[in-house]
Structures are given as structure tokens and as C-alpha cells.
Structure 1
Amino acid sequence: MTELASSPWMAWLLANPLLGPLVEFQFMRSAMFGCIALSLSAAPVGVFLMLRRMSLMGDAMAHAILPGAAIGYLIAGLSLTAMTLGGIFAGLTVAVGSGLVSRNTVMKEDTSLAAFYLLSLALGVLIVSVRGNSVDLLHVLFGTVLALDGAALTLLGGITAVTLASLTLLYRPLVLECLDPGFLRSVSRWSPVAHYGFLMLLVINLVAGFHALGTLMAVGIMVLPAATARFWTQRLGPLLLTATALALLASLSGLLISYHADWPTSPVIVLCLGAAYLLSLFFGPLGALRHRRPASSHLQA
């Protein structure tokens, strides 16, 4: 802390009663780095999720990872590795299982996904409730962003790096799949890579959000910034940048508000994201008060 204070910039931050906790306390610095990693990773995934009209699937998948994380907890306690691997396995199982059901039966994909995720959610809550206690259940459902340690931050940073590298590699096929998936399947072998690669990115980012914000809040930092940014721009590049910036601003604001007000951090972060969404809904250039939807609209690259 002495070294931090020796810098004029850091000394100003420490003297600032509002921003000072972000650099004064180790747990606040860890939470800040976790929020930054999540914002850089989850927000761009949320943009493609929105453009593919799969936002509700993100919510379903956030619940679907719970039984895997719960089984990891049952085997190894609050082990980062066990809960991460369990969550990824459960999420992929639900995603692939619902896809197979929709492709081989009369059931639509949204209905099969709803059935799988409801079963997963009930199983996960049952496991944690029976074998754990109320504190463990709250940890799983609402996260512990203020208790992120070095291992958790390493995991979040690794997922962020993998996500950004994958989105860079898959950018063109992902855009084409958002616009016309049938055309992509007819002209390129990248269609299944883009589809299943994106599902994998969705699952690992929900697992990352699960460790910081909990199962019930993880999808918030993914969907809300993307939806909010859509009220400000319809071009894909600015949409990605705006969603990421909104996620950063709202998550850090929520972190500080929860510290000063002594409120639970995860819900406050999501409420900050929700407040930005509502303001943009009414006052954004493409919001309700300033924009009338044209007869047809298209994504602009």
C-alpha cells in the first residue's frame, strides 16, 4: 500500500472517499479485476447471443450449470476446479441434449431446452440444499465477487483470453450465422464450428460469471449490456465496444455502491445494468422516445 500511495495518481484515488476502496482494500481490487475480466469476456458474447435471438437461452444455460457445480461442490467442497469442470460439463450436456431432442423429435428447441434446464435447476438446488447449508446455497446462487482469490482471478483471466481469441477467429462465420445461418451452411464448413464453438464460449462465460456473480446473476452481465447498447447503435463494431464499456461501467459502479451502502454486490451490479437499460430504452437514439422501428431492419457490419 505504501508503494501505491507513492504515486500521485494512486494517492489521489486513496484520498477520494468514493473511489478509494478500489485501491485501498485487496478484496476490492480483486473484485474490480474480476469485474473487468467478466465485462471484457461476457459482454461481447452477449452481443452475439442477442443477435442470434438466443438471449433467453443464456438464462436457461445459466441455470443449467447449477447441478454440475453442485456435484463438484458435493465431491470437493467449494473447490474452484471441481465446480468449474462440473458446471462446464452440465452446461454442455444440456446444450447438446436439448439440441439432439429438437433435431430428432417433434419437440421445438426452446421447449426441449426449457425442460432440460428446469430439471437441471431443480437437481442442483436439491443437491446443495440436502448436502450443504443455507450459506452454501446462497454462495452458489448469488456468487461471492468480494471473495475472489488468485485462483479465481486466474480462471476469469484465462476464460477472457480464450473468449477474445475465439471471437476474433470466428468473427466472420458468427456474423454470417446471425444474418443467414442457412447461407453459411451452404457455402462454408465453418457453420458447425461457429455454432458449437459459440455454445462452448457461452457455457464457459456463464461458469466464469457463476463464480463471481452466482448462477442467478451470471446471465445479467451478458445480456443486459448487449440489450442496452442496441439502443445506441446498430453497427456491429460499435455495438461490441458499447456493450463492453457499459458492462465495465455498471459493474464497477455496482461494486462501489454495494461497498458504501453495505448491500449484496451481485444484485446491485445487475440493478446498475438494469438502470442503464431503462435509461437507454427511453433516451437512447434508438430508444422508445426517439426512434420508430422501420418496416424492416438489418444488422450492419
Structure 2
Amino acid sequence: MIYNALIAPFAEQDFMRRGLASVIVLAFGVAPVGVFLMLRRMSLMGDAMSHAILPGVAAGFLLSGLNRFAMSIGGLIAGLVVAVLSGVVARSTEMKEDASLAVFYLVSLALGVVIVSAYGSDLDLLEILFGNIQTLDQSGLMLITFNTTLSLIVVAVIYRPLVIECVDPLFLRTMGRAGAAAHLAFLALVVINLISAFHALGTLLAVGLMILPAAIARFWSRDISAIIAIAVLGAAVSGYFGLLAAFYMNVPAGPAIVLVAGVVYFLSMFLGPAGGILRRVITRGHLEA
């Protein structure tokens, strides 16, 4: 019974195995980046950047159709351009970086939708916006694997500056070029991992597997290393059960994965030992007694 419900779909269906492999590999790339976004209070920036890559993805689609490599290159260029331009505007005017980024992401989202709508079908638009991990081919899996490997290497190199900035955001600014280089490298990591997540979840939901597992992990530990490990596990588990839900309910896998992650988040919010609601209630009751 358990085998038929939880294992058989992956044992018997090639597309389910590829989807599971993709989401597990993806978890190792997006979850650590999501943790640092959360700890640096930049979670909404991840959401903005996931929309900012859409014009580049749309341009790649316009030139080569649903070619994953072309759309990835286009999305990478668009994401980096938006990140740089929003920073330049914030430093050259009185507008804050978050407001500048919001303007660019809204324009980028609208432009991308217009391009795909004008030159593609409704199905093309849906796949670009919401993804289809169940149709991910070998080339898509290899691309995600490459991006995740690159991401892990860069995180290992800039891990110490990232941790320091979570504790003291002003410290890196005093380091001059080294601090700026670490910040730019981290922004590049955000874009690279959003490109990976785009192939599985689409541009609108790509940030879901980056931020939700990080938020889940925050309720279970206060140690950064443990938070990263729990976030990776949370992303992989959400992907596994999300794929099963999509298979049995015949719904798109991307939204199903994000919804499962959302359910795990709310459970963690109530049960988590590191600031969860139940822990707070018990602690408050103990103190009042």
C-alpha cells in the first residue's frame, strides 16, 4: 500500500523520476540562497528578480522557441541588467533600492507577458509563467545541475562575508571592494538559481522554492548552518510530495510543490521550536505560572 502510493509513481514513470531528480538538485542550489535572502531581509527582492528575468526569457523564446538554453541566457542577462540598473538608480537618485527594483520588475513582467502573448500561444505563456517540471528533459536537468554546482562553489567561497553581513549589515561596506564583490556575487547567485527554478516552476513561482523552505527552517533552528540544511531538506520534501499531489490530482506540478511548501510552512509556524506559536504559548504560560 505504501509502496503503491509513495514509490510506485517514481519507479514506473520516467517523467516523475526526472522531476524528482530535478527538484532535489534544485533544492541544494536555491535553498541556501533563499536562507541568506531571508536573513538579510531581502526576500521580496527574490520575488522581484524572479519577475525581472521574464523579458530575457521571452526574448530567448522569440528567437529560438522553447529552447531552454536560449531562454536561460536571456533570463540571466535580463536579471543581471535589472539588478545593476536598480542599484544605479538607487545610488544616483533619492529613490530607495527596493522601490527602484519594484519599478523595474513591474515593467519587466509586463514586457515579458506582452512579448510571449504576441508571438506565442496561450500554452507557451502558461509554461513560461508557471513551468512544467513533469516535461523537463535531460538537457534541462543537466542545466539545473550545472547551475546548482556553480552556486554551491560560489556560496562556499563567499560564505563568511554572507554570514557576517547577516549579523552586521554595515560591516561589508567598510571592507571596500571586497564587500562590494561579495554582494555582486550574491546577486548573481540569486539570478542563476532563479533561472534554474524557472525551468521547473516558471517565472512566477520560481521564488517559491527559494523563500518558503528558508522560512520553514527558521522556525526549527537559530544556527545558520542548521537552517541551511533544514531548508534544503524542506525544499526536497516539498518537491517530492508536490510531485505526488500533482500526479494523483492531475494538476500542474509547480503550483502543487509551492502549495505543499506552504502547508509545511504553516505547520512549522505552529510547531517549530525556534519561535513557533506553540512554543511561545507554552513559554508564556510557564512564565505566568
On whether the aligned pair clears a TM of 0.5, the verdict is yes
Pairing partner for 2:222 from 234, 238, 243: 234
Is 1:247 paired with 2:235?
A: yes
SS in 2 for 1:207: helix
The aligned amino acid for 2:264 is A
Is 1:110 paired with 2:98?
A: yes
Conserved 8 A contact 1:19-1:256: no
Is 1:45 paired with 2:33?
A: yes
SS in 1 for 2:204: coil
The aligned amino acid for 2:56 is G
Conserved 8 A contact 1:181-1:191: no
Is 1:290 paired with 2:279?
A: yes
**CA displacement at 1:189 relative to structure 2:** 4.2
CA RMSD of aligned residues (A): 1.6
User: Which shows bigger deviation, 269-278 or 171-180?
Assistant: 171-180
**CA displacement at 1:203 relative to structure 2:** 0.1
Is 1:213 paired with 2:235?
A: no
Post-superposition Cα deviations, 1:38-79, rounded to whole Å, max 9, x if no partner, equal 111101100000011000000000000001000100011011
Conserved 8 A contact 2:39-2:166: yes
1:8 maps to what in 2? none
CA distance in 2, matches of 1:70, 1:189: 34
Post-superposition Cα deviations, 1:129-183, rounded to whole Å, max 9, x if no partner, equal 0111100000100101001111101100001100111111111011112222322
CA distance in 2, matches of 1:159, 1:31: 16
2:253 maps to what in 1? 265
Matched ranges for 1:157-168 at <5 A: 157-168=145-156
2:157 maps to what in 1? 169
The number of residue pairs the alignment matches comes to 281
Q: Which has the higher helix share?
A: 2
1:68 maps to what in 2? 56
In the alignment, structure 1 segments of 5+ residues that lack a partner are 1-11, 295-301
In the alignment, structure 2 segments of 5+ residues that lack a partner are 284-289
Pairing partner for 1:152 from 134, 140, 143: 140
Matched ranges for 1:17-56 at <5 A: 17-56=5-44
Q: Using the aligned pairs only, state the percent identity.
A: 52
TM-score between the two structures when normalised by the length of structure 1: 0.90
**CA displacement at 1:188 relative to structure 2:** 6.3
